[in-house]
Amino acid sequence: MAQITLVDTTLRDGSHAVRHQFNEQNVADLASGLDRAGIPVIEITHGDGLGGSSLQYGRSLLSDEEMISIGVDTVQDSKVAVLLLPGIGTHVELERALDLGAKVVRVATHCTEADISAQHIEMTKSRGALAVGFLMMAHMLEPDDLAKQAQLMASYGADVVYVTDSAGALLPDMVGARVRALRSALDDAVEIGFHGHNNLGLAVGNSLVAVESGATWIDGAMAGFGAGAGNTATEVVAAALDKAGHEVVGVDIFELMRVAEEKARPLLPSSTTISRSALMLGYAGVYSSFLLHAYRASERFGVDPAEILLELGQRKMVGGQEDMIVDVAIELSQGRADQGATNSR
């Protein structure tokens, strides 16, 4: 059975659920709890990574530097990780994060654009940190083509490369095929990771399939915090992996359950559920962090958020195109107005 490195993303991807408003006490409490539970890697930044705090992606209550500093000062054994999307974050933010004590850097690109990760992966390695390649929206690329993109990240020095189900759109057989393709294409020294979202209710099951297919790094967020219907729940996937006979390295599963219940769950604005709009994310293959933006556009222009998400999926919109959500909402609103005028004649 596999030895699994469990990564918790509550303080990064999970921040979408609270509109990036974690405060100092939240960061300290969650980081401390995860450290006590033995989680080896804790990811901490704005939900869209270093440099993500902006009008387009949402302003954070705390800066990336403040969050990273709190995390580094709080943990004793866990490593603090940061996420960087080239074009949102730059080498300036990356250098500062490493100076503050980040030990793992996850460089995320759209699944067809691994080539833009080169300088950031190479910079990470030059500073002695562990480099992770993150191939987002992995459902949009066939397994063999995804493996070629993974090979690029590995050639730049990535220690781990992820199949990233940003939309929560992958079915179990699709996960297995992609992980196996990466495992066949990469040197044995490069590990494979899987990052899931629960928009189709498959996050934990998909994570188990990923491990059975060769993945050894699995992401989660406590209590299912996250964009869309939430990330794979860290405490649930840890229990499921343990029950399946896999070794979740260093993790005290019962302490993790306690921290998730007592520290994370009370911070959720509502129970994580697969709402109609969240389900549409998975069905249409839309980036999970688009959900809150779609709700805002829905309220502003009087259009059903599910209609907005379906149209975004049909147009194959990807992370970084959040500005198009407003454009789509305007077009749908105008279309309704035009149809109403026609019907009244």
Task: Please indicate if the annotation marks 46 as binding a ligand.
Answer: no
Q: Is 46 a catalytic residue?
A: no
Give the integer Cα–Cα distance in Å for 199 and 163.
16
CA-nearest of 175, 178, 119 to 150 is 178
CA-nearest of 48, 113, 121, 133 to 91 is 121
Task: Please indicate if the annotation marks 275 as binding a ligand.
Answer: no
Give the integer Cα–Cα distance in Å for 176 and 155.
23
Task: Please indicate if the annotation marks 156 as binding a ligand.
Answer: no
Task: Please indicate if the annotation marks 32 as binding a ligand.
Answer: no
- DSSP alpha helices (H): ranges in the chain? 24-36, 64-74, 91-100, 118-126, 143-156, 172-185, 203-212, 234-243, 253-259, 276-284, 290-301, 305-314, 323-343
CA-nearest of 299, 344, 291, 336 to 317 is 291
Task: Please indicate if the annotation marks 283 as binding a ligand.
Answer: no
Task: Please indicate if the annotation marks 166 as binding a ligand.
Answer: yes
What 8-state DSSP symbol labels residue 262? Answer: I
- DSSP alpha helices (H): ranges in 250-289? 253-259, 276-284
User: Which one is catalytic: 16, 20, 46, 139?
Assistant: 16
Could you tell me which residues are annotated as the binding site? 12-13, 166, 195, 197, 287
Which residues contribute to the annotated binding site for Mn(2+)?
13, 195, 197
In the annotated binding site for substrate, the residues are 12-13, 166, 195, 287
Active site residues: 16
